[in-house]
Amino acid sequence: MFELLIVKPIFNLLVFIYALLPGHNFGLALVIFTIVIRLLMWPLVKKQLHHTKAMRELQPEVRRIKKAANGNRQQESLMLMALYKEREIKPFASIGIVIVQIIILIGLYHGLQRVIVSPEALLVNSYEWMKNFSWLKELGGDISRFDMTLLGFIDLTRSAVSQNGVYLPALALVSGSAITQYYQSKQLMPTDKESRSLRKILKEASTGKQADQSEVQAATSRTMRYFIPVLIFVFTVGLASALALYWFVSGLVAYIQQSRVLQQDETELGASVDTAPKKEVIEGEIINRPNKKKKTSNNKRRKR
């Protein structure tokens, strides 16, 4: 089922772009394929960023809830859940897009590995109707014409580090993948001047002071900003550079998409948040506070 529903469609989309692309450069086709995938994921990306931005804007209210709860974990959790529900925010909304990215990456990896082992896999694994494309017919007659490079400069079948030594072009792609992932993660991290490092929190916890779980989670997220790029570097340094090229372009496009959304007008991004009445924490309870937009509309009605 994974082969039929994931690997085949992903691989054939890449082959489709490659067969119709003027010049038939596989590396350039992979770049275009990556951009197309990111554009298709745009609705999910925008929704994820909306929730991320909304979560960042809620930080002052979250701190007020923690102060009002005064260490009562159960009360704090109930108040936070009520706040998230009222603002229509799902704290784990970003998990969906991460799962989609992992599935695409695994499917692409399986397809590329087959082509690296045997270029004939390009024809064997293509849909029947695609085999009628003129370029695929030419490859069927002479598979040696298949060139798996990026514009003739980078051999996408080679890894950055192998038994043959270090391949610098591939190492540049792997490094670029890690760097773009770092800035992509940093871009989504909330800036909180009162935040403490995970090391400081754990140091205080070792003295017997109870650690704030949400603060630990926030500190862990900031630590992951460094850990994930390192993990990507270690993971891709020994794989064919075609995968590193996909990861690098995907991260670059994702960074541009995030910049565009996060810089948009606040009212547009928070449309669904503003439709519901806001709430404040007073003496440990969440109470309704009329929305500013609703006040404006009511004033207009009175004037009329």
Confidence of residue 249 (pLDDT cuts 50, 70, 90): very high
- pLDDT > 70 fraction of the chain, expressed in percent and rounded: 68
10: how many CB neighbours lie within 10 A of its CB? 22
How far apart (Å, rounded) are the C-alpha atoms in residues 73 and 66? 9
Confidence of residue 282 (pLDDT cuts 50, 70, 90): very low
Per-residue pLDDT for 293 more than 70? no
Q: Which of 14-28, 134-148, 182-196, 276-290 has the lowest mean pLDDT?
A: 276-290
Q: Tell me what pLDDT residue 175 has.
A: 94
Most confidently modeled range among 90-94, 167-171, 214-218, 224-228: 167-171
Q: Tell me what pLDDT residue 225 has.
A: 74
Per-residue pLDDT for 172 more than 90? yes
Q: Tell me what pLDDT residue 292 has.
A: 45
How far apart (Å, rounded) are the C-alpha atoms in residues 182 and 254? 12
Most confidently modeled range among 15-19, 50-54, 90-94, 297-301: 15-19
Q: Which residue, chain included where needed, has tokens 């704290």?
A: 91
Rg (CA), the chain: 25
Q: Tell me what pLDDT residue 283 has.
A: 43
Q: Tell me what pLDDT residue 14 has.
A: 93
Per-residue pLDDT for 113 more than 60? yes
Confidence of residue 83 (pLDDT cuts 50, 70, 90): confident
Per-residue pLDDT for 303 more than 50? no
Q: Tell me what pLDDT residue 278 has.
A: 47
Per-residue pLDDT for 151 more than 60? yes
- Over residues 125-143, the pLDDT tens digits come to 899 999 889 999 999 888 9
- Over residues 15-47, the pLDDT tens digits come to 999 999 998 999 999 999 999 999 988 887 777
Per-residue pLDDT, averaged over 145-172, amounts to: 91
Q: How far is CA 124 from CA 8, 14, 136, 177, 280, in A?
A: 11, 14, 11, 31, 62
Confidence of residue 65 (pLDDT cuts 50, 70, 90): confident
How far apart (Å, rounded) are the C-alpha atoms in residues 96 and 107? 17
Per-residue pLDDT for 191 more than 60? no
Q: Are 276 and 291 in contact (CB under 8 A)?
A: yes
Per-residue pLDDT for 53 more than 80? no
Q: Are 226 and 182 in contact (CB under 8 A)?
A: yes
The pTM score is: 0.72
Confidence of residue 12 (pLDDT cuts 50, 70, 90): very high
Per-residue pLDDT, averaged over 91-102, amounts to: 73
Confidence of residue 173 (pLDDT cuts 50, 70, 90): very high
Backbone phi and psi for residue 39, each to the nearest 5 degrees, phi listed first: -70, -40
Per-residue pLDDT for 58 more than 60? yes
